[in-house]
Structure 1
Amino acid sequence: MMAEFIVKAKDRKYEGLDENEKGWKGPFCFIQGADPQYGMIDDMSGKKPITWQAEIELTRKAIAAINRMKPKPKFFVVCGDLIHAMPDDNQKEEQEADFLKEFAKVDPSIPLVCVCGNHDIGNTPTRKSIQNFRNKFGDDYFGFWAGGVRCLVLNSQLYEDASKVQELKKEQDVWLEAELDAAKSSGCKHLLIFQHIPWFLNKPEEENEYFNIDLDIRMPMLDKFIAAGVNTIFCGHYHRNAGGSYKGMEEVVTSAMGCPLSQSPAGFEMGKQPSGLRVVKVHEKSISHQYYGMDDIPSTVDL
């Protein structure tokens, strides 16, 4: 029987990764992916009609590797742009259906955490586009516990353009303030953030561009995270590996599970960096991570 995708992120929590995961039980690993973005490879190649068999094959490689990994990852988080079609694209529902079909094959003992990206809810999201995401993939922002670590998933598009959903942005802001405040006294070993759009790509003070969040929003938020004790922020969106640090807090930008990019004088083109995943090792006092191409994902993680 075909596995069925089950939405587990509801009411700002994630079923199976909550109070029972508050305690530290020793080192563990988790997997971070980003931008499977079904349909982008054909789109970048100029092929018509656009299909996404290439992304499906990459997904199958990734999931096969994750399912056989020892020890089993504590969870698998996909940091946005699950599919390539925008909310008003007539291929959106078909791409979403194939994503749900393929990602339902993740071992059910490895929770799948889906983060929304700009292609999932639109560059200027609406109540309808956000509700569609919630219905199919789970809440667009929520928190969960994993092995004594507190994890917060954010809807980064609300920092990019919330012009049509100001009330929803305020709701996330209020929720996040409460979560950051609670984390200070929670006893968590680490406090992690997962989102799609990076606050910055390499340096916190870098200029505004398409792939980062504007400075006037970025710097106050980074200071807020520092004050709450956030250790690491994991992002996608850039389709290349990048990242940096701010006052000791690391931001990790992970390349695409689907189509990698590079920049040339003519604009963006398909990159030579392999499509892949990041394996993150969590120890009581440290976090380390490494990016692997799909053909090089280890079957055993040395903790």
Structure 2
Amino acid sequence: MLLCQITDLHVTRPGALACARVDTARSLRRAIAAINRLSPRPDAVIATGDLIDTSHPSEYEVLRACLSELTVPLYLCVGNHDHREALRAAFPDHAYLRTGSEFVQYRVDLGALTVLVLDTQDPPNAGGHLCDARLTWLDEQLQACAGRPTLVAMHHPPFDTGIEFMDGLGLSARGRAGFARVVSRHRHVERVICGHLHRSIQASVAGAPEVMASTCVSTAHQITLGLAPGAPGSIALEPPGFALHLWQPGAGVRTHLAYVGPYDGPYTFDGESVS
């Protein structure tokens, strides 16, 4: 089972640039073209939130047009930049978005692997939260899929990263504690995949150290790596990319970071071009 994760697409309305610099729709189309060329072909793509940038009505229209170019099944997750009802309206054919709940969260079984998509949105705050209702849903779903290897997808990561200004916009302390309490009871959680940070970061979940969580680079711009206390928040035009989560029986989940070009190669170790 090969899952592709894209995140923090931040698609803008036509003619607008994210952070006054980044053509995010163009960047997303480049990422999609790279994903469509992959061999082996991913079994599914999971987009872990911040699909649009400002909630302008036309942004979801642009997003849908971009994502229509994908040639593999797609599953969507909300981030703090998203709007639940506008997302549902823009993707009426994605039945999993409409479960009768306020929250955009659902279960999908992909072969032997179960994916649980969790809603961490806490409007109007940029930070995330997991209320009792969402944690109860997660606990019930994990009980229902006991014995199946399970991956949890959510926007805000359940750990501090050391990038101070982003940690100030992270998942609430109560949400982190509740999440750890739930997942620690279920030994079949193999990975938690998240967005929000625009960087590739891995950490165990505090309170559930046997559970590994990770974030992913954006298909557009990245958050500057600022680990010094008080480092100002900023973006860097580092290479965009996506993650590939490979699950195999007996081996669990292994994650590969893939960059979106252009870049040279591949070459043999003798410097010859590989056709």
**Short-chain TM bin:** 0.7 to 0.9
Number of residue equivalences: 242
Query: What is residue 212 of structure 1 aligned with on the other side?
Result: 170
Query: What is residue 217 of structure 2 aligned with on the other side?
Result: 255
Distance 1:34 1:207, change over 3 A: closer
Query: What is residue 282 of structure 1 aligned with on the other side?
Result: 247
Query: What is residue 82 of structure 2 aligned with on the other side?
Result: 120
Verify the 8 A CA contact 2:241 2:257 in the aligned structure 1: yes
Distance 1:202 1:118 in 2: 18
Is 1:240 the equivalent of 2:224? Answer: no
The percentage of aligned residue pairs carrying the same residue is 21
Distance 2:42 2:9 in 1: 19
Query: What is residue 136 of structure 1 aligned with on the other side?
Result: 90
SS in 2 for 1:227: coil
Distance 1:199 1:160 in 2: 19
Verify the 8 A CA contact 1:155 1:196 in the aligned structure 2: yes
Distance 2:224 2:3 in 1: 27
SS in 2 for 1:102: helix
Name the TM-score, length of structure 1 as normaliser: 0.71
Distance 1:143 1:222 in 2: 19
Q: Deviations over 1:261-290 (max 9, x none)?
A: 216667222214311101111111221112
The runs of 5 or more residues in structure 1 that have no matched partner are 1-27, 87-91, 122-129
Q: What pairs with 1:71-150 in structure 2 (closer than 5 Å)? A: 71-86=40-55, 92-107=56-71, 110-121=72-83, 130-137=84-91, 138=94, 139=97, 140-150=104-114
Distance 1:93 1:56 in 2: 15
Q: CA RMSD in A?
A: 3.2
Moved over 4 A (4+): 158-161, 168-171, 263-266, 296-299
Give 1:208 deviation, angstroms: 9.3
Verify the 8 A CA contact 1:75 1:112 in the aligned structure 2: yes
SS in 1 for 2:242: strand
Is 1:200 the equivalent of 2:163? Answer: no
The runs of 5 or more residues in structure 2 that have no matched partner are 98-103, 267-275
Verify the 8 A CA contact 1:211 1:238 in the aligned structure 2: no
Distance 2:76 2:115 in 1: 13
Is 1:295 the equivalent of 2:261? Answer: yes
Verify the 8 A CA contact 1:34 1:257 in the aligned structure 2: yes
Is 1:44 the equivalent of 2:19? Answer: yes
Verify the 8 A CA contact 1:77 1:113 in the aligned structure 2: yes
Distance 1:116 1:82 in 2: 7
Distance 1:120 1:149 in 2: 27
Query: What is residue 59 of structure 1 aligned with on the other side?
Result: 28
SS in 1 for 2:185: helix
